[in-house]
Amino acid sequence: MIQKWAFLRPIYWMNFQVNVMTAAQYRVSTAFWILSLVAEPIVYMSVWAAVTREQGGSLDGLTVGQFSAYFITWMLVRHFSVAPVAEMEWRIRDGLMSGLLVRPVNPIHADIAENIASKLTALPFVILVMIGLAFAYPPTFNLQVWTVLAFIPALLMGASIRFLFQYTLGLAAFWVTRTNAIFGVYTVSEIFLSGRFVPLALLPAQVVLIASILPFRWTLSFPVEVVLGQLSMEQVVIGLGIQALWLLAMSQIFRLIWAFGVRQYTAVAG
């Protein structure tokens, strides 16, 4: 394990540096990309603020300020869990994968490095936007030291689960040439089951149960619930455990599908 990491570390570092520089070069492009990510939570926030006002200031015990705290945290978690891996299809279909396969390491490592780099370079902008949302809708946070501390592993594991989930789905391109249908189904499930459109607390108990059995709740809703103090310490510990299990399961599923997929792969010669 340690040996492997010593081997991988320079690879991560190089990819990281290259990607930071690329992002700095295409500033307009990066700015637009961030803009496209902020519209969504603001829309949801506005909808729920309008509903809450219509209901006289409180919806199932949630105030506008609490919705605002929810979606501000949502932005941070979402930013970390966005995985631009839809290009897997294009890589496999156009035969670009050949070049990546002859390299001595699994291409996922370069992708992870790229992902980390793009997240860190865009983070300042995301924080700016979070502050902007806080001005539009003043949030009511009720932060405690332990919830903030528990939030960090919840956030990192949630983001990793989602990255691996999407990456593995992208591997479907080894068998079918169009994967956008698969990602479409994924996105729709995620909008309703991960707390992306609506806090899970507002959904019927059966739906929440389904969301908790599937990975969706653990990618977005759970970290937000943790930092908002909606869970007891016991629930947080159990949740972190479930996240760890999903992370383990996802990485094993990824390895398995990768192994089968690569055998399936036949390049279009260039």
Partner 1 sequence: MRVIALYFKVSILNELQYRVNFFVQVLQSFLSLVVALGGLVIVFDHTESLNGWTSAELLAVVGVYFIVGGLIGSLIQPSMQMLMEDIRQGTLDFAILKPVDTQLLVSVRQIQLWRLMDVGIGIVLLVIGLTQAGAEITVLELLAFVVMLIAGGIIVYSFWLILATIAFWFIRIDNILQVFQSMYEAGRWPVRIYPPWLQFMLTFLVPVAFAVTVPVEALTGRLTPLSFLGAIALTVLMFTVGRVFWTIGIRAYSGASA
**Least distance CB 47 / partner 1 (angstroms):** 6
Among all chains, which residue has been given the structure tokens 């909808």? 47
Write out the H or E segment, with its range, that includes residue 204: none
As a whole number of angstroms, the distance between CA 138 and CA 73 comes to 13
Q: Based on the shown chain and the rule CB under 8 A, indicate whether residue 28 belongs to the binding site for partner 1.
A: yes
Note whether 60 and 161 are within 8 A (CB): no
Adjacent-strand bridge partners of 62 = 59
Counting every residue written for the chain, the total comes to: 270
Pick from 11, 18, 20, 42 the residue near partner 1 by CB under 8 A. Answer: 42
Note whether 76 and 145 are within 8 A (CB): no
Q: Based on the shown chain and the rule CB under 8 A, indicate whether residue 125 belongs to the binding site for partner 1.
A: no
CA torsion angle 224 54 57 134 (round to 10): 50
Q: Based on the shown chain and the rule CB under 8 A, indicate whether residue 181 belongs to the binding site for partner 1.
A: yes
Q: Based on the shown chain and the rule CB under 8 A, indicate whether residue 264 belongs to the binding site for partner 1.
A: no
Only segment of 94-102, 160-168, 180-188, 250-258 that touches partner 1 (CB under 8 A): 180-188
Q: Based on the shown chain and the rule CB under 8 A, indicate whether residue 58 belongs to the binding site for partner 1.
A: no
Pick from 100, 156, 191, 208 the residue near partner 1 by CB under 8 A. Answer: 191
Two structure tokens written together for 235: 């629930």
Only segment of 103-111, 156-164, 190-198, 217-225 that touches partner 1 (CB under 8 A): 190-198
As a whole number of angstroms, the distance between CA 155 and CA 49 comes to 25
Residues contacting 143, CB < 8 A, separation 6+: 227, 229
As a whole number of angstroms, the distance between CA 48 and CA 63 comes to 10
Q: Based on the shown chain and the rule CB under 8 A, indicate whether residue 51 belongs to the binding site for partner 1.
A: yes
Only segment of 32-40, 106-114, 117-125, 226-234 that touches partner 1 (CB under 8 A): 32-40
Pick from 24, 43, 127, 238 the residue near partner 1 by CB under 8 A. Answer: 43
Q: Based on the shown chain and the rule CB under 8 A, indicate whether residue 141 belongs to the binding site for partner 1.
A: no
Among all chains, which residue has been given the structure tokens 């007891």? 232
Where on the chain is the footprint of partner 1 (CB under 8 A)? 26, 28-30, 32-33, 35-37, 39-40, 42-43, 46-47, 49-51, 54-55, 59-60, 136-137, 178, 180-181, 184-185, 187-188, 191-192, 197-198, 202-203
